[in-house]
Amino acid sequence: MNLSKLLAEAGISAVQPIRFGSGEFCQLDLSKNNPSLERIDLNDEEQFTAQVFGQLKANGARVGIGGYLEERGLYSRSELFTEDEPRTIHLGIDLWAQAGTAVYAPFKGVVHSFDNRRFHGDYGPVIILEHEEAGLTFYTLYGHLSTMSLHGLYEGKPIRKGEQFASLGAYHENFHWPPHLHFQLIMNMEGFHGDYPGVCKASEKGRYLQNCPNPEFIVMAGIH
């Protein structure tokens, strides 16, 4: 099954409005191989935020994109990820942008579930949408949102394709991350509600790769 082809034929709207030819976005590297991350305290809001947005400024970009299956050492700053085998593999794509930046639905759908996961390193406000397109049922997850994004939500609430339904949260909201969207494609929620792992262990990479395909084609489809 060529998922990207099927969904492209169904039509994909922008998750965030970015103009492809304008240099508005750049790739960001938050992998364990980036030596610049070793020189800062990732639990220091000012240092971490300055690192991310300094890269955007250096590239003349408004949005930083990247992270799918990126192996990251930065999760060691939170007990959420430090198990016997630490979780280090990022399962979504991050779009780093200013707090308050609008988030739009790439497909029509309904609110599957939502939560405010207030634990250091977690999503903070998170919304999961359920979609039915091209004979498929699948889900998109949006993490690190503003608390206002949860106001008025209810499970089953219809969301139109292209509708702004959320915005990016600030550091203290999203929960201790510089402002960004964690965007993840999920084929089976596996019983999760208001949550789904956004980072996995290296030993689990194969299984999660099947259930969380690369969502880059959705993000890039909305770039003009």
- The 10s digit of each residue's pLDDT in 117-153 is 887 768 999 999 999 998 899 999 999 999 999 999 9
Provide the pLDDT for residue 83. Answer: 62
Is 100's pLDDT higher than 80? yes
Name the nearest CA neighbour of 123 among 57, 52, 198, 67.
198
Backbone phi, then psi, for 64, in 5-degree steps? Answer: -105, 135
Backbone angles phi, psi at 71, to 5 degrees: -90, 120
Task: Measure the CA angle with vertex 164, ends 162 and 165; round to 5°.
Answer: 120
Average pLDDT over residues 13-29: 76
What's residue 122's pLDDT? 83
Among 27-36, 37-46, 128-137, where is mean pLDDT lowest? 37-46
Q: What is the mean pLDDT of the chain?
A: 87
Residue 198, pLDDT score = 92
The backbone torsions φ and ψ at residue 216, rounded to the nearest 5 degrees and listed phi first, read: -60, -35
**In the predicted model, what is the mean pLDDT of residues 94-98?**
92
**Which pLDDT does position 6 carry in this prediction?**
83
pLDDT tens column, 140-192: 999 999 999 999 999 999 999 999 999 999 988 887 788 999 999 999 999 99
Going along the chain from its start, the domains and CATH numbers come out as: 3-221 (2.70.70.10)
Q: The tokens of 205 are what? A: 């990479």
Q: How many whole angstroms separate alpha carbon 194 and alpha carbon 146? A: 15
